[in-house]
C-alpha cells in the first residue's frame, strides 16, 4: 500500500529467559553498513547487568545438575531452532555487516555447526579433561572437571553471530551459566538468537544477552562478586581490557584475555575455550572399601 510507514522495532534484553526493557529506558540506533537505520536496541545499564548476573547464578546449579547427555541434547536443540530461522539470520548479517549473501549464509552454516560440535562434547569433557591418578598407597584418586560457575563474556564485534556462538557455547557446555555483552555494532543476530534460545529447551538464565556499550557494562561485570570468570575475547579497547582485568583482580580467579590478533573463527575450535572455564576437583578413595 502506498504511503505505508515501516514499523520501527525496539529490541529488548534477554535476562532470565525473559525480554525486559532496560531499566534505564535508554536505547540506541542500530544501522547497517551504510549507516541506514535498522532498529533500536536497548542500551543496558549496570542494573540490567546485575539482574543478568542474578539470573545466571540462579540457573547455574540446575544446569550443572543436569546430565551431560541432557546438556548436549539441549544445545543440539538450539542448532535445530537456529536452522529453522536461517533466512532471518542471513538477512540480518548481510545488512548489519555489509557482506554478501553468500558470506552471510556461510556464517549461519558455521554457527549451526558450532552448536552441534559443542553438543557432541558435552558427555566427553570429563573423559578427556579428567584423569585417574597413580598413587603410591592403598588408595586411589581421580580428577574430574567441574564448571567454574557464572561467566561474563564480551562477544566479538564480527562475525556477529559466529563470534557470539563461539564464545557462549564452550562456556555453557560444561555446566556454566553466562552473561554475554553482544556486538554493539551488529547486535541484531544476537537478539534473534535470544528468541531462538527462549523457544528452545534451554532453562531460563543459563544464557543472558545484553546489548549496549562494553566499556560501560564490562568493568562493572568484572567487579561483581558473583561472577566467577571473565572472557575478554571481544574487547577491542586496551583501556577497557585493562580496567576489566583490574576490576576482576579481587574476586575472579579465571580471566581469558583478549587475543593478540583476531581469531580465525572458522577454524577447528579445539578444547581450549572449554578448559578455560572448568576447575579440576580431585577425589581420594581407599582401595577395597
DSSP string, 106-148: HHHHHHHHHHHHHHHHTTTHHHHH-EEE--SSSEEEEEEEEE-
pLDDT at 275: 92
In terms of pTM, does the model score above 0.75? Answer: yes
- Is 137 exposed, middle or buried, given 0-12, 13-18 or 19+ CB atoms closer than 10 A? exposed
The whole-angstrom separation of Cα 289 and Cα 285 is 8
Can you name the residues that pair with 31 across neighbouring β-strands? 37
Say how far apart CA 165 and CA 155 lie, in whole Å. Answer: 9
Locate 75 and state its grid cell: 544445545
Closest CA to 228 of 250, 259, 257: 250
Per-residue pLDDT, 289: 55
Residue of 215, 173, 214, 180 whose CA lies nearest to 194: 180
Mean pLDDT by groups of 10 residues along the chain of 289 residues: 69 95 90 88 94 97 95 96 94 92 95 96 87 73 86 93 96 96 92 94 96 90 92 88 87 86 88 91 71
Domains of the chain: 10-123+147-280 (3.40.605.10)
What DSSP designation does 59 have?
H
Assigned C-alpha cell, 33? 553498513
Question: Within 10 Å of residue 288's Cβ, how many Cβ atoms?
Answer: 5
Amino acid at each position: 500500500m502506498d504511503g505505508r510507514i515501516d514499523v520501527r522495532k525496539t529490541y529488548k534484553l534477554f535476562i532470565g529467559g525473559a525480554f525486559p526493557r532496560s531499566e534505564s529506558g535508554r536505547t540506541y540506533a542500530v544501522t547497517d553498513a551504510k549507516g541506514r537505520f535498522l532498529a533500536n536496541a536497548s542500551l543496558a545499564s549496570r542494573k540490567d547487568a546485575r539482574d543478568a548476573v542474578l539470573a545466571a547464578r540462579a540457573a547455574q546449579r540446575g544446569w550443572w545438575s543436569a546430565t551431560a547427555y541432557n546438556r548436549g541434547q539441549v544445545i543440539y536443540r538450539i542448532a535445530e531452532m537456529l536452522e529453522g530461522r536461517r533466512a532471518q539470520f542471513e538477512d540480518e548479517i548481510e545488512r548489519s555487516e555489509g557482506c554478501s549473501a553468500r558470506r552471510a549464509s556461510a556464517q549461519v552454516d558455521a554457527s549451526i555447526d558450532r552448536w552441534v560440535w559443542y553438543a557432541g562434547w558435552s558427555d566427553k569433557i570429563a573423559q578427556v579433561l579428567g584423569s585417574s591418578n597413580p598413587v603410591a598407597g592403598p588408595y586411589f584418586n581421580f580428577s574430574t572437571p567441574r564448571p567454574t560457575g557464572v561467566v561474563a563474556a564480551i562477544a566479538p564485534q564480527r562475525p556477529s553471530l559466529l563470534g557470539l556462538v563461539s564464545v557462549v557455547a564452550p562456556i555453557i557446555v560444561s555446566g556454566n551459566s553466562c552473561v554475554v555483552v553482544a556486538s554493539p555494532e551488529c547486535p541484531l543476530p544476537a537478539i534473534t538468537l535470544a528468541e531462538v534460545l527462549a523457544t528452545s529447551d534451554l532453562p531460563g538464565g543459563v544464557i543472558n544477552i545484553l546489548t549496549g556499550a562494553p566499556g560501560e557494562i564490562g568493568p562493572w561485570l568484572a567487579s561483581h562478586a558473583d561472577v566467577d570468570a571473565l572472557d575478554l575475547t571481544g574487547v577491542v579497547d586496551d583501556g577497557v581490557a585493562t580496567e576489566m582485568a583490574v576490576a576482576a583482580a579481587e574476586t575472579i580467579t579465571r580471566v581469558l584475555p583478549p587475543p593478540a590478533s583476531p581469531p580465525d573463527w572458522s577454524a577447528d575450535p579445539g578444547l581450549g575455550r572449554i578448559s578455560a572455564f572448568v576447575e579440576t576437583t580431585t577425589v581420594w578413595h581407599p582401595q577395597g572399601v
